[in-house]
Structure 1
């Protein structure tokens, strides 16, 4: 339990581990990470890393929430924190990955955040291509796939095709995945 300002590093490490489990689908880990991060956020003096992980955890809890109003509120709260973290550190790759993936997975019809996903995926792709980062090729392929899907969601089929053609040229195993995305409309 977080007691006072500055006394939250150990709890944060635990929340990070739980967050990683939550990303893989562990609903209980999502709730625990969110609860810990909510407490840490109150005493961490606007720490960007806490803000980003809190935002992502809020979105993960929203993913598993049955009540639509609470689901929406948690998702919006998560986006607000992720936006704040990215605004504070716009070149932080981890923050961009978190925000890009959250924005990508939210329904465009309700949240209108596909443009944010595009911005983040384009940033991440440029970072990978500049070879200045520790991003790996699997992440790069996923960013390309998601960027194309995001363009497709917004009805920008020419941009989507360009990105997907680039991806298939580098890794032909993505062709059936892309065909499936095209059949299902992108969202």
Structure 2
């Protein structure tokens, strides 16, 4: 058995493909979904694989041509991501994935900004308890996403409050 066929190696490859899919590579998104589907079948109780599988469904939804398929994949994505959080509610990567997916769904149809707010607030609360929980770069990303989630949910005052918190904690940097 080659090292390329280990579940850990396949998961690493799938995560890289998923990231390429997030950046717009539709073929990579499909390949990530296929790999994650296989991993999910062999490791059905692995919460992180479940979360990445849910994220891959969100990309398939994004890239679908037919409206019905977009809706079905998005709903399935939310269901799978919710299941991943139920399996491991304290896993930060799962919370970040679910929050990020919810942030990109149309609020007028899915009403998922509240879930994104819950997940990003969860991450920031844990960071307040342990400053090593997130890197500074991760905190900036979470704050930006939380601000956007509040904006999407129709709460511009809270969005502005979070943006101000970000600005006061982290003055603008070139890598942002």
TM-score, with normalisation over the residues of structure 2?
A: 0.86
Distance 2:108 2:82 in 1: 19
Q: Which residue of 2 aligns with 1:161?
A: 160
Query: 1:9: how far off?
Result: 4.4
Deviates more, 1:30-39 or 1:125-134: 125-134
Q: Deviations over 1:4-36 (max 9, x none)?
A: xxx744433322221222222221110001012
Is contact 2:126-2:133 (8 Å) kept? no
CA distance in 2, matches of 1:8, 1:125: 31
Q: Distance in 2 between matches of 1:145 and 1:43?
A: 36
Q: Partner residue of 1:97?
A: 96
1:99-135 Cα offsets, whole Å, 9 max, x none, are 0000001110111110000000101112223335452
Match of 2:59 in 1: 60
1:92 to partner: Cα distance:
0.2
CA distance in structure 2 between the aligned counterparts of 1:112 and 1:154, rounded to whole angstroms: 8
Matches for 1:1-187 after TM superposition, within 5 Å: 8-173=7-172
- Note the alpha carbon deviations across 1:23-80, whole angstroms, 9 max, x for none: 2222111000101222332332332122111001111121122211111111111111
1:127 touches 1:133 (CA, 8 Å); kept in 2? no
- Alignment partners' CA distance in 1, 2:144 and 2:49: 28
Unaligned runs of 5+ in 1: 1-6, 178-187
Partners of 2:132 and 2:71 in 1: CA distance = 34
Change over 3 Å in CA distance of 1:19–1:156 after alignment to 2: same
Kept in 1: contact 2:48–2:93 (CA 8 A): no
Looking at structure 1, the residues matched to 27 and 93 of structure 2 have their Cα atoms a distance apart, in angstroms, of 23
Partners of 2:37 and 2:19 in 1: CA distance? 16
